[in-house]
Structure 1
Amino acid sequence: MYQIFCREYSMARSSSHIGDGRMEPSLSSDLAAIAQDSSAYGANQVANADEFLCQIGKYWNNPELSDIVLCVGDRRYYAHKLILVSSSDVFRTMLTGNTWAESNTQEIDLEEAFQCEPVFPDFLKFLYTNRIFISDDTVIPLRTLADKYMVQRLSNLCIDYMCRELNCDNVIGWDQYATKFSIKRLSFECLGFMQQNIDLLIDSKKFLNLDIDQFVKILKSSDVHVPDEYTLFKSVKDWAFAYDRSCSSDDIKCNLSTLLPIVRYPMMSGEQLDSIEKDEAINACYPAMRDEINSSYKFHATAIPNPNWAMCKVTPRRYYQGYSCKFTLPNYSKRHHDNNRYVKVFPAYSSNGTSRILNWDWFVSVAMGGRTDRLGSNNREPVLEISNPGPEREERSVKIMAVFYGKRNGSIFKKMNYTTQLTVRDFDFHHIRLFGSSLAPEYIVNDTVTFHCIITPTDKIYVKC
């Protein structure tokens, strides 16, 4: 550009008329202006960050250029102050502050918990590479180190891992850890997982590790996905009377007095209430049980709740029995070429309204190949179709929920993947794009998708009689 400017400038001077009274611009000022304008034609360039980190990573635990040694247990790690202080506020204070003796020493002894010592080299390597392998066994020790040395990006990775990899074997311990250290996001995810998988959790070996506060949170929730209320009652009894729990008789009575009042007895059938009424062990530990049973019998007969009950006492949870149907869809990868329609017809328990109609018959189907809309275009996504072919000529407000079964690291789990609220009239068909364009791979097990469709009434007080 400079050469072009000089050539054009010379040509302009040679062709100009000297002495016409106009002042010629100086060459130096024009060159300065063009140099300033040329900066607009540049661009910031960024090299491959992974290559840079790979080069930095070569200095992990490398004596070359090392200016400090970290001693953890019986092991010594070569390190570099620049890396440490740029990654950790604690190391920055320790190595640059005049009040710390470590700032002038070549070796530092770090006292770590015994479970943190084996993962310390992984923690240190993360400071150099920004990469780390996390597993169920290492996630808590790694986050302990991240929290101690204030490495927030590693702490976030650990929490992300725990929220993503929940299963029946780790959720109880991780929820207790989240509560202890006030990790709200992890607590929220753990509670949601336990709500949706309480039946699987009850059958697992870890169920007895629940503490009383966790059990209370589960029983207070209406989002618990469980076959029926009686299943929750039995889980309370099994948990309280477990032989391998070191609880005295007073502890058992105290626990039952806390948990049993939260059970929703009006949601049980008469046969189930009768079996509880005859349970001598429960009545001996919880004398108020007879009042609970009698009030529930009265509610079944009159639909009038006990004035001492909270509204949740007569609110159904996400029950399987009486409120849902289960679909198993094979050959899911070939769904676009599958014209099969999987159909279920089942009664869902209904209201205590004036008509005293206890259930509606529901027609629910899954069209694997999608359906043709009014404009004639064919949507190949699987579609859930819901209708109520009842004779009542009424409408009902209901909540439609879909709970999918998945498999992660060899463990089966369930997760709410869809929910909506509808007002349904007789013979009206509602089409729901339940799966979307894609379904997470963890919900496709052996090319089969399994889910529960739950229909829960919401417009009145409902009870399973």
Structure 2
Amino acid sequence: MAFIFPGGILSQLYLGILFGAFCFQTMTVSGGPNPDSMLESGATVINHSMILVQRLEALLVQGNGSDVTLRVQTLHSDEVKVIAAHALVLSLQSEVFEGLLHSRNSSSLTLREPMDCAAVFDKFIRYLYCGEIAVQLEQAIPLHKLASKYRVTALQTGLSLYMTQHLASDSTNGHVVSWYHYAMQTGDVALRDSCLQFLSWNLSSVFHSGEWGSVSDDLLLSLLQRSDLILQSELELFEALEAWIGQNQPGGLTIENSLRAVRYAMISPQQLFRLQKQSPVLLKYHESVRDLLYMAFQFHSASPLQLAKYFDVNCSLFTPRNYLSAAWGSPWIINNPTRDDRSTSFQTQLGPSGHDASKKVTWNALFSPRWLPVSLRPVYTEHGAIQAARSDNGHPRIIVTPATSSADFAGVSFQKTVIVAARQQGKVVVRHVYNFHQSTEETGDFLAEADLQKRASEYLIDSSLYMHIVVKPIYHSLIKAKK
């Protein structure tokens, strides 16, 4: 497509746009200005790019030299937004605009957009002129839709990153669920997984927010199938599910599938008896889960080793999630975590089975801010001097071990989970989860990316490290179950 450049100041400005685009691309590829590629060695770069951006913004606002009028019509509405624009700028930034402008037969271009996109269209156009944009939570999806539709790749990427980094931000009705559903529609795998992980790690907070009711059937079942959910107890999950069913009134198949995803064996017999008599959902759909309830009562009444002779105890029904209640672990707040080693002790139930309810395991936890592997620890030389290891080689370490051993441990393995909380956008959320399967020597990545020396570290809250240690007893078959 051929462009006719107006004369005078505007012509110079268009040339400035081209030169500015070239400079931006050079800086992006090289990671910064490369004087040797454009200037003589030792030359000084005079950068007035901000002045150019300001003039471009003024050009958009004032409409000087405009050669195309954008008529943005809101779908199912008579509302029309008119924007005086410049074909060269639009074409440089979007190949879709380039094609639309090439095929137009008048000085105006009509664009039909849904209401949410039409409301932010002027903001989107300003980005094409200035290369920057101020985003609010509720604007992220419509702006991403526009960036996708007009193939403005840089803005697409920037908005996906924005959403990933603002999952913890406060909003009136919540936004993570809607972002998850949008990511599913667009195939944005990274955003989808980030949303799903955030919801899984902060599920108790989601239960008490306005967005729990907006969870779709598919998202609900995806969450219920996960073992890494962080919540108070399985009973809390059942009660939240019952509330979701009452609010959304889904089809019978969805209700049955969701009820069958509850791990009833992780609920005490006393609470199960109460649910069978008082839960309207369970009363109505009792036949759909009767076999699971029967298995749960058997699980609580018999020895796990005895049960394992006849049933597969490795299925999800008998696998705990990350429960925060006292029977499963303990919170641990460490003030000034870089100062020295710390230790604590706590008790958990031997296993989730009612048969083991009265059996307790005492655990010792040791936290070291600068643990060193054997190869890097200080050693004595033949002259008695110490070869000191570099202090910056150490990294945080946590070890969780039972205070005693017992014959009751037979047939039980213990998965330790350490949950680290942080404050993001003024809200306390789960920052990271570390899983240690049986052996605490597998903790090499614990806080590997955290700089605890910084008071403003994203892993600290008011200079303190907030953790919660969860011990999950997993039963395993010592002999093959009889069929």
Compute the TM-score of the two structures, normalised by the length of structure 1.
0.74
Number of the residue aligned with 1:447: 463
The amino acid that maps onto 1:129 is C
Number of the residue aligned with 1:10: none
Number of the residue aligned with 1:196: 201
The amino acid that maps onto 1:272 is Q
Q: CA deviation at 1:370?
A: 6.5
- 1:159-198 correspondence to structure 2 within 5 Å: 159-167=160-168, 169-198=174-203
Q: 1:79 and 2:89 equivalent?
A: no
Counterpart CA distance in 2 for 1:437 and 1:239 is 37
Distance 1:369 1:174, change over 3 A: same
Secondary structure of residue in 2 paired with 1:59: helix
Q: From the CA coordinates, give the structure whose radius of gyration is larger.
A: 1
Q: 1:400 and 2:416 equivalent?
A: yes
Q: 1:105 and 2:98 equivalent?
A: no
Say whether the 8 Å CA contact 2:396–2:447 is kept in structure 1: yes
Number of the residue aligned with 2:211: 206
The amino acid that maps onto 1:94 is L
Number of the residue aligned with 2:37: 44
The amino acid that maps onto 2:97 is F
Say whether the 8 Å CA contact 1:348–1:362 is kept in structure 2: no
Say whether the 8 Å CA contact 1:386–1:431 is kept in structure 2: no
Say whether the 8 Å CA contact 1:385–1:432 is kept in structure 2: no
- 1:304-453 correspondence to structure 2 within 5 Å: 304=307, 311-321=315-325, 322-330=327-335, 332=336, 335-336=337-338, 338-339=339-340, 341-347=342-348, 349-350=350-351, 360-367=361-368, 374-375=377-378, 377=389, 382-392=396-406, 398-423=414-439, 433-434=446-447, 436-438=449-451, 441-453=457-469
CA deviations 1:172-223 (Å, max 9, x no partner) are 1211222233332222111111111111111222222222221111111111
Structure 1's unaligned 5+ residue stretches are 1-41
Distance 1:68 1:429, change over 3 A: closer
Secondary structure of residue in 2 paired with 1:241: helix
Counterpart CA distance in 1 for 2:279 and 2:465 is 43
Counterpart CA distance in 2 for 1:453 and 1:210 is 29
- 1:88-99 correspondence to structure 2 within 5 Å: 88-96=94-102
Say whether the 8 Å CA contact 1:385–1:429 is kept in structure 2: no
Number of the residue aligned with 2:124: 123
The amino acid that maps onto 2:419 is V
Counterpart CA distance in 2 for 1:360 and 1:293 is 27
Q: CA deviation at 1:433?
A: 5.0
The size of the alignment, in residue pairs, is 402
Number of the residue aligned with 2:235: 230
The amino acid that maps onto 2:324 is Y
Number of the residue aligned with 2:284: 285
Distance 1:94 1:358, change over 3 A: same
Alignment RMSD? 3.7
The amino acid that maps onto 1:44 is S
